[in-house]
Chains A and B, each alone.
Chain A
């Protein structure tokens, strides 16, 4: 270190250099991520509506009180809960299955991995469009095949009981790769000897899976499902594309309701209050999730 200091021509410059290096990043992050967050907090205490600029002003906790009188809030929160639980549950089970299958040494392993991971690179809007073309009333693949087989075509995205499951399938398609990739990465850290010695002891497949593999990759599954819950809670692009919250609001998640209130309708004040609520929900959920996770660890 001493020799370095004498060799570098400007030692004073080198102490400042790391700060100069991170300066652009800090400027971007503070201006476009931190500042909007603070502004959302401030706006949540204001009456701030695009359509009523004259009423602009500080109103204290009025927006927060309004949460309790909002008839659309609870239904959207329940839909979000259903959305996150169903979506992340299915993604985890199928993602785990996919990872276990893709971890086996077999022919075409590389090709199969590429094919199954492809939806990761496809956006929510495009996934929505691809699945709309499957579910479309008149020209969709499913209804055409149904007609060919003599079954009654259904209005998959227009029916109040079919729309939610249809959207879940589309989002599932896009979400499986993330879980599969994360779990596969964890599976690859398990040395072969572990499996070999289990086999020597005469353990069957189910025992190996539940007693050896799953406990070893538990942490990765926990991390991936947590990320996925946060992601599913906030994502709007796919639902916006496929149903835009309809029919009759059965696919209006909390995130979509928040977007409509704050951006589409232009109620920046109350919209920010909803944003603060969702921030609190996410923080609370993350802390509870991590706690529950570590309590589980102590049991083992």
Chain B
């Protein structure tokens, strides 16, 4: 079908211009921060304003990484996120297996309980959580963040994993059991190899959420050497004189890991969202 001249003009106004505005809105803050991060600190504060860095420098990255604390914040973020996500993935695999392959009394209760905890805003329980960590002697220890992040991640990652496991036909289990596999052997030798992409998706979603977590570490941790990137960068802007170049470089450093994983999970976003499994 040929589109008429009139329709083409309408298309420009209802499709292309809104799209360009939207892309411009999304890209501008990232682009500007990227540009700042490559500017000399003297150029950032100078009267002469340029959009692009001129001259281009890596000084902010090298300085914030070596003399600043960005490298330490990065390591803390990595330790918290990776240990939490490994535990979450294991717990969620066991959960998904139980929910997709067994009928047991209390199954529905467990599902409802998980959905309720998923809806529960953490701001409501943050002060009792802090008190609990104090009683457990975990305040100002990375472990406090790790265990609470595991708990928060379980509900929706379980729903996601259950979806992936239910996609594996039950006949495969039955065949394995006829061959003499126990239930657990079936899980590890038959089901898990099939759902590797699903496991990686759960891993990526959980990692992005843990990496971005702010409220828990901000509440539990008090010494600067323990801060993850989210808290460390927030701390940088409360200083009397803000190092803008370093802040921009730190922000870009913090964005890179979730962005890399985003590329992987993006294709599951649309389908995962319809399953109601993704947090906002």
Contacts and interface: CB of A to CB of B under 8 A. Distances in A.
A3 B49 CA distance: 78
Given A21-B102, A119-B26, A282-B121, 5 more contacts: A22-B94, A31-B151, A120-B269, A123-B258, A237-B214
A286 to B, nearest CB: 8
Contact of B124 (A24, A29, A37, A130): A37
A240 B159 CA distance: 31
B273 A278 contact: no
Contacts of A255: 121, 123
Interface of B: 14-15, 18-19, 22-23, 25-30, 32-33, 36, 44-45, 49, 91-92, 94-95, 97-99, 102, 104, 106-107, 110, 113-114, 117, 119-132, 147-148, 150-152, 154-155, 158, 174, 177-178, 180, 182-184, 208, 211-215, 219, 230-231, 233-234, 237, 244, 247-248, 251, 254-255, 258-259, 261-263, 266, 269-271, 273-274, 276, 278, 280
Nearest to B7: A205
Contact of A35 (B102, B122, B132, B178): B132
Interface stretch (A56-64, A67-75, A257-265): A257-265
Interface stretch (A107-115, A159-167, A287-295): A107-115
A15 B104 CA distance: 8
A215 interface: no
B26 A139 contact: no
B14 to A, nearest CB: 8
For the complex, would chain A's binding face be called helix, strand, loop or mixed by DSSP majority? helix
A188 interface: yes
A52 interface: no
A130 B280 contact: no
Contacts of A4: 174, 177
A234 B130 CA distance: 17
Contact of A34 (B95, B97, B117, B278): B117
Contacts of B119: 230
Contacts of A21: 94-95, 97-98, 102
A97 interface: yes
B261 to A, nearest CB: 7
A161 to B, nearest CB: 22
Given A18-B98, A39-B128, A133 B247 contact: yes
Contacts of B19: 101, 112
A29 B113 contact: yes
B49 to A, nearest CB: 4
A141 interface: yes
B123 A259 contact: yes
A101 B156 CA distance: 29
B257 to A, nearest CB: 10
A120 B262 contact: yes
Q: Which 3 A-B pairs have the closest CB atoms?
A: A123-B212, A234-B121, A32-B151
B167 to A, nearest CB: 17
Contacts of B15: 101, 104
A3 B126 CA distance: 50
A123 B280 CA distance: 11
